[in-house]
Amino acid sequence: MIKIRCINPDEIPFAKQLIYRVAHQVFQDTRPLEESMAYYESQGQLHDIDDLQQTYFDNSGIFLVMTDDDQMIGTGAIRKIDEEICELKRLWLLFEYHGKGLGYRMMRELLAFAREKNYQRMRLETDQSHQNRAFDFYKRLGFYEISRYSDNEDDVAMEMTL
């Protein structure tokens, strides 16, 4: 049975492993998964997840996990940019669960949370060339491209009005 709930602190390593696993496929990394994970960990790639409390929960945000019979299959998070704008982060779903409406289900939960917190807009960044399915998904949800709001030059910035 598919469930969406807040992450537990002891699940942080599993969430990071899931994200690295999906990213490994999305970005077609040719290194073995473990080697790729070690490299990106040494670069601090998912540093925001290491302190979930400060980055998300204490920052008017949330970090959700999706499970299938207690196995983590997806993640999704929101953190505050300012009083009116939140940022969608870490929306990842195992490939074998794609095409079943589960990403949309996670987004409904995250959008409901953002609206409950009275955010007016939601932003995100995505790599349009490697994550074209995600980019198209966001466009279908109502996100539109905006000027870059971070120093991440590889990604496209998007926003939607809540």
For the stretch 109-149, pLDDT in tens is 999 999 999 999 999 999 877 787 889 999 999 999 999 88
Higher pLDDT, 6 or 29: 6
Angstrom distance (rounded) from CA 139 to CA 153: 20
Average pLDDT over residues 54-66: 96
Please answer whether residues 89 and 137 qualify as being in contact, where contact means their C-beta atoms are separated by less than 8 angstroms. no
Please answer whether residues 138 and 155 qualify as being in contact, where contact means their C-beta atoms are separated by less than 8 angstroms. no
Q: Map residue 73 onto helix, strand or coil.
A: strand
Average pLDDT over residues 17-36: 91
Q: Is the pLDDT of residue 85 over 90?
A: yes
Residues whose CB is less than 8 angstroms from the CB of residue 12 and which lie 6 or more positions away in sequence, other chains included: 49, 50, 52
CATH number assigned to the domain covering 2-120? 3.40.630.30
User: Which residue bears the tokens 């030059």?
Assistant: 153
